[in-house]
Amino acid sequence: MRQKSAVLFTVFAMLAFVLIPTTSEAGDFAVGTTLENFSLPDTAGKTHSFNDLKGKNGAVIVFLSAQCPVVKAYNERVSQIAADYAAKGITFIGINSNSTESLDWVKSHAAENYKFPMLIDKGNVFADKLGATVTPEVYYFDAKNVLKYHGAIDNDRSGKAITDNYLRTAFDASLSGKPIAKTKANAFGCSIKRIAE
């Protein structure tokens, strides 16, 4: 009888372990993780691979939106950072994962605001893979595709009172071979509009 109870308890415990929902860690792409090469089409339909687009010192993947006011507030800063670090071997790759934004809209917005390529993440598959949730949100990968920094570009969306330039600081530390002090900062912005939301 005692043996039967023990077996039943074990079965219930195993079932509970399988069935009880836990906080999902899926898509939480942690700093230190290596990104496998991937390919996505740009706004003209031409496919690009990450390894082809990245610079000699890595690349930044920045999730953007054509309509988000927070992205709008960051447009100039993003372009300036991209220009400043292109010469230092770090390139920018824009990604639009919003299911609510038409290709024409994304295309014209990108053409007006950025010199770097804008890739289309149809079905937000890539955003899910990285666990990206807002725009703007950045992922900085080094030359070996290792994630070095994830999150906000800086600590003030208005740009009027920036005290921490998270992304620039991460670049500078990495380029000088020093450890990055702050590898993650919460990005604030518009939720990525996923399919079936």
Q: β-pairing, 147-151 with 184-185? A: parallel
Shortest gap between Cβ of 57 and other proteins (angstroms)?
25
Shortest gap between Cβ of 90 and other proteins (angstroms)?
22
Name which of 3 and 158 has its Cβ closer to other proteins: 158
- Preceding amide of 136 cis, omega within 30: yes
Name which of 29 and 91 has its Cβ closer to other proteins: 29
Q: Is 29 in the site for other proteins (CB under 8 A)?
A: no
32/65 Cα distance (integer angstroms):
26
Distance of CA 126 to CAs 2, 100, 105, Å? Answer: 51, 16, 20
Neighbours of 175 (CB within 10 A): 15
DSSP state of 29: -
Q: Is 164 in the site for other proteins (CB under 8 A)?
A: yes
129/29 Cα distance (integer angstroms):
7
Q: Is 156 in the site for other proteins (CB under 8 A)?
A: yes
Place of tokens 């530390």: 173
> Given the rule CB under 8 A, which of 29-37, 53-61, 121-129, 183-191 is the region that contacts other proteins?
183-191
Please, which residues have CB within 8 angstroms of residue 111's CB and are 6 or more apart in sequence? 43
> Given the rule CB under 8 A, which of 29-37, 74-82, 83-91, 129-137 is the region that contacts other proteins?
129-137
Q: Is 151 in the site for other proteins (CB under 8 A)?
A: yes
Chain-centroid distance, C-alpha 54: 15
Q: Is 81 in the site for other proteins (CB under 8 A)?
A: no
Strand 59-63: give its sheet, edge to edge.
118-120, 91-96, 59-63, 137-141, 147-151, 184-185
* Count, residues near other proteins per rule CB under 8 A: 25
Name which of 135 and 174 has its Cβ closer to other proteins: 135
Q: Is 188 in the site for other proteins (CB under 8 A)?
A: yes
Shortest gap between Cβ of 187 and other proteins (angstroms)?
5
Shortest gap between Cβ of 135 and other proteins (angstroms)?
9
Which amino acid would we find at residue 59? A
Q: Is 102 in the site for other proteins (CB under 8 A)?
A: no
> What residues make contact with other proteins under the rule CB under 8 A?
69, 133-134, 137, 151-152, 155-158, 160-164, 166, 185-192, 197
